[in-house]
């Protein structure tokens, strides 16, 4: 138990920078005297921990201290190397000096078994440059000017204070404060046509984190597909939402937001989907299909 507490004290100091003995005692539910004994044990083990007296004093680790590689198990080392090697969003991370240094320090390699690339087909460099630019803006807290294609078809310029990049349901999003709407908004990266980092720096507001979509807020939609569409159905919907009928048809019951994207999504199935409910959604999609036909008929 003491060894576990000692590591937790070190991790806490690495993260927070400093702490007081009463603070640590309350956190680990021990006495202040026990905390000081733990500090003596850490010091005796070679961990450069020290205490400063005074108004701004506290328990600290020496500046530039890092945990020795021996603290990590073989499995943890492999996980770190694999994580670095697997993510290939903006550049070939397998050639990263960070990965090379850690591999040398851990005295182990990491098999190149996975490649993750979120850029679109035929547009790798453009997507990666945009991602890198937005990532830099998030890290350095710099405002960005974006040209954004909204769901209504209009392209508008906005000034955004970027908070984080989010990967959700097969797509990247930028979550940030929109200075035009004066509220937190989520922007799909593929719809950001241009992104320019501005000189303006911003202070992060005390605002809620990325909102999780609640199924309870969306209407239930029931769809029927022929069995030969299984490859597409299971690609788009979780298997728990799919019921296989005796004749081989697949019926999907799912809650989804009704917007322009949903209409286009359903149209992408062509004649291979029956919208069983709600009735107004069936009418909406049929109307849109008719407009497409009228526009493209010869």
**More confident site: 126 or 222:** 222
- Longest alpha-carbon distance in the chain: 88
Looking at 12-16, 48-52, 129-133, which range is the least confident one? 12-16
DSSP 279: H
Q: Quick: pLDDT tens for 242-276.
A: 999 999 999 999 988 787 778 988 999 999 999 99
- Other CB atoms within a 10 A radius of the CB of residue 54 amount to 6
Question: What was the pLDDT predicted at 214?
Answer: 47
Q: What is the pTM assigned to this prediction?
A: 0.52
Q: How far apart are CA 205 and CA 185, in angstroms?
A: 13
Smallest Cα–Cα separation from 148: which of 95, 195, 99? 195
Q: Which of 40-54, 74-88, 99-113 has the highest mean pLDDT?
A: 40-54
Q: CB within 8 A of 196, min separation 6: which ones? A: 144, 145, 146
Question: What was the pLDDT predicted at 6?
Answer: 82
Task: Report whether pLDDT(278) > 90.
Answer: yes
Question: What was the pLDDT predicted at 152?
Answer: 66
Q: Quick: pLDDT tens for 173-230.
A: 899 999 988 888 889 888 899 999 999 999 887 765 555 544 446 789 999 999 999 9
Strand order in the sheet with 242-244: 242-244, 250-255, 220-225, 274-277
Question: What was the pLDDT predicted at 256?
Answer: 85
Strand order in the sheet with 183-188: 183-188, 171-178, 155-168, 142-149, 192-201
Does residue 197 sit in helix, strand or coil? strand
- Which segments of 116-192 does DSSP mark as H helices, in order? 124-140
Question: What was the pLDDT predicted at 286?
Answer: 94
Q: Are 199 and 142 in contact (CB under 8 A)?
A: yes
What mean pLDDT comes out for the span 140-159?
88
Q: What percent of the chain has pLDDT over 90?
A: 31
Q: How far apart are CA 27 and CA 16, in angstroms?
A: 13
Question: What was the pLDDT predicted at 93?
Answer: 46
Which whole-number Å values give the CA distances from 12 to 21, 52, 60, 235, in the listed order?
A: 12, 17, 10, 42
- Angle among Cα 25, 13, 97 to the nearest 5 degrees reads 160
What mean pLDDT comes out for the span 135-139?
90
Split at pLDDT 50, 70, 90, the class of 88 is very low
Split at pLDDT 50, 70, 90, the class of 86 is low
**More confident site: 247 or 56:** 247
Question: What was the pLDDT predicted at 8?
Answer: 82
Task: Report whether pLDDT(109) > 80.
Answer: no
């Amino acid at each position: 138990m003491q060894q576990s507490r000692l590591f937790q004290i070190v991790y806490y100091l690495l993260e927070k920078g400093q702490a007081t003995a009463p603070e640590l005692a309350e956190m680990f539910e021990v006495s202040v005297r026990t905390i000081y004994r733990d500090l003596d044990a850490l010091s005796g083990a070679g961990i450069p921990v020290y205490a400063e007296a005074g108004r701004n004093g506290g328990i600290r680790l020496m500046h530039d201290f890092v945990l020795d590689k021996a603290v990590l198990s073989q499995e943890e080392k492999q996980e770190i190397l694999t994580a670095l090697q697997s993510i290939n969003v903006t550049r070939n991370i397998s050639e990263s000096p960070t990965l090379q240094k850690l591999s040398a320090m851990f005295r182990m390699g990491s098999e190149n078994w996975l490649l993750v690339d979120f850029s679109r087909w035929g547009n790798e460099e453009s997507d990666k440059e945009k991602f890198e630019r937005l990532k830099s803006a998030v890290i350095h807290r710099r405002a960005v000017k974006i040209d954004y294609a909204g769901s209504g078809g209009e392209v508008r310029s906005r000034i955004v204070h970027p908070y984080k990049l989010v990967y959700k349901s097969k797509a990247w999003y930028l979550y940030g404060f929109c200075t035009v709407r004066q509220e937190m908004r989520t922007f799909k990266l593929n719809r950001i046509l241009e992104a320019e980092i501005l000189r303006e720096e911003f202070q992060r507001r005390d605002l809620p984190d990325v909102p999780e979509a609640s199924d309870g807020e969306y209407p239930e939609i029931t769809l029927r597909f022929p069995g030969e569409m299984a490859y597409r159905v299971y690609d788009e919907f979780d298997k728990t939402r799919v019921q296989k009928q005796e004749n081989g048809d697949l019926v999907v019951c799912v809650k989804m937001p009704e917007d322009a994207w949903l209409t286009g999504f359903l149209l992408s199935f062509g004649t291979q989907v029956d919208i069983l409910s709600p009735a107004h959604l069936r009418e909406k999609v049929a109307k849109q299909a008719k407009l497409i036909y009228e526009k493209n008929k010869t």
